Amino acid sequence: MNFRPLLKHQKKAFEYTKKCTHPALLMVMRSGKTLVVLRRLKADNVWEHGSLIVGPYCTLVNWKREIMLEGFPCSEIVELIGTRKERLNQLKKQGKFYLINKEGFLSLPEIRFRKWDNVIVDESTILKNPKSKISRFFTENFRNVKRRWILTGSFSSESYLDIFQQLRFLDQNIFPMRSYWDFRNKFFDNSGFYQWTLNTVGRISIPLRLSEKCCIIGKDDLDQKIRKVYTRRLIPGIKAMMKIYDTLQNEFILEVNNKIIDSSIFAIKAFTLMRRLCGGFIDTDFRFPCKTQEILSLLQNELQGQQVVIWCVFRAELHVIKNILTQNNILCGVIDGTFSQKERAQTINNFQNGLFQILIAIDSCFKYSLDFSCADFCIYYSSPTGLETRQQTEARIETIHKNGVKEIIDLQIEGTIDTSIYDSLMKKETRQELLKRIIRKEQKNDEKESY
């Protein structure tokens, strides 16, 4: 018995899966791709060999929850986790759903030899790099599987180039080129600094082919109307901190009290050190509480009593925030990459059930699939540079089941790299474009000093 009726856009996706041998669900984030897949599998009612579900670790928590919501008992879910020996034993078990994290194939390559009814790659941008091990593994194997799936809500966040390898996993005839490089050379022009933009042929051919072969659901296709409000909190930097920052920015030297802590000839390394410094850290040593004081002020005043997700780029930031909130009697939960799947699920359930109001998370680990929509606010202590990661993390507090306003607050040290990253994301620039702009700025500064 189905307790959750499909929404209008989900019915459209479901009908598409009836006609397509190897479906590509390119559906906006938080639109219910998992539910569509499960309903299709139930309708097919083919359970001879089981379905392999591959995705980032955090997506598997959502898959397990969704499978059980659809009425399948926990005994029919096999989680391929643990040591290699444990995973091999689990692979021998009988079940309908086999869940494996995206790196799991490295310790359990035997999954390619087993017969499957379905192989489902969730957050399929994990396949976008044709040189990566995971892309080669899944593209070169599983060709005999009756039905292959890809699911993603951000297939072209960075570039349409990303879609080629994902679709190649499904069907090599969707774009019948011999390789990613042939695809790139035919449909894109090189605009410099490793940037490729669609040429005249690509602007026509790629969207047309995608519309023919994929199910594309955008925000305009949803009944739900969520309005996002962006707020910048510009925080003055402490004088001692800004002195260190200026030296790091102009000379690529991290100098504290006339002592050189670190230095580099590479702008990218200096960029990372500047980002850490904006978070209050000299390398991993916390020195400057500018942003933590702002967070404490927000949670004790405007956001008092609200459920809030706080996103961090660096793990050290997460634990400093937790310690400061705990010292001020503010209950919070944290999740980072060191947590087991069970610990993550428990922490997320506690947050969803209101046992604590503040959840602090690492953006790179928890940007996919998870439901934090109980919160109407998220704060970026530090913001990711990648457009896909930013969009995915923002989407965690959205839901297709209700309208409303979600507020996104960015903490930024005034006059630093924080503001450049924010401006870049609002312009929907790629990470490469951001770095290109920063490097050019540094080159101009060098030219002025030389003059």
Residues 211-239 pLDDT 10s: 999 999 887 777 777 778 898 899 998 89
- Residue 72's pLDDT is 94
Residue 270 DSSP label: H
CATH code of the domain containing 176: 3.40.50.10810
CATH code of the domain containing 432: 3.40.50.300
Residues 204 and 322 in one domain: no
The values of phi and psi at residue 171, to 5°, are -155, 115
What confidence category does residue 440 fall into, taking pLDDT thresholds of 50, 70 and 90?
Answer: low
Does 3 reside within a domain? Answer: no
Mean pLDDT confidence for 40-53: 94
Q: Is the pLDDT of residue 156 over 60?
A: no
Q: Is the pLDDT of residue 450 over 50?
A: no
What confidence category does residue 48 fall into, taking pLDDT thresholds of 50, 70 and 90?
Answer: very high
Mean pLDDT confidence for 341-356: 85
How far apart CA 56 and CA 361 sit, in angstroms, is 15
Task: Kindly state the percentage of the chain with pLDDT values over 70.
Answer: 92
> Is residue 416 classed as helix, strand or coil in its secondary structure?
coil
Does 157 reside within a domain? Answer: yes
Residues 287 and 155 in one domain: no
Does 251 reside within a domain? Answer: no
- Domain of residue 324, residue span: 226-239+280-447
Residue 5: alpha-carbon gap to chain centroid: 28
Q: Is the pLDDT of residue 443 over 50?
A: no
Residue ranges of the alpha helices (H) in 92-233? 133-140, 163-170, 180-187, 200-213
Residue 59: alpha-carbon gap to chain centroid: 10
Q: Is the pLDDT of residue 448 over 50?
A: no
Does 46 reside within a domain? Answer: yes
Of 8-22, 80-94, 130-144, 277-291, the least confident: 277-291
Closest CA to 169 of 180, 185, 158, 182: 180
- Residue 158's pLDDT is 53
Highest mean pLDDT among 268-277, 282-291, 305-314: 305-314
Does 266 reside within a domain? Answer: no
Residues 65 and 148 in one domain: yes
Q: Is the pLDDT of residue 154 over 80?
A: no
* pTM for the whole structure: 0.74
Q: Is the pLDDT of residue 141 over 50?
A: yes
Which residues sit opposite 259 in a β-bridge? 256
Q: Is 283 left (phi over 0), alpha (psi -120 to 50) or beta?
A: left
Of 53-62, 133-142, 365-374, the least confident: 365-374
Residues 216 and 231 in one domain: no
Q: Is the pLDDT of residue 129 over 80?
A: yes
Residues 324 and 440 in one domain: yes
Does 213 reside within a domain? Answer: yes
Residues 74 and 173 in one domain: yes
The tens digit of pLDDT for each residue in 280-293 reads: 998 778 999 999 99
Residues 118 and 64 in one domain: yes
Does 288 reside within a domain? Answer: yes
Residues 183 and 231 in one domain: no
Does 130 reside within a domain? Answer: yes
User: How many domains does the chain divide into?
Assistant: 2
Q: Is the pLDDT of residue 446 over 50?
A: no
Helix (H), strand (E) at residue 150: strand 147-152
Of 135-139, 184-188, 267-271, 399-403, the least confident: 399-403
Of 16-20, 233-237, 383-387, the least confident: 383-387
Residues 118 and 95 in one domain: yes
Helix (H), strand (E) at residue 34: helix 33-44
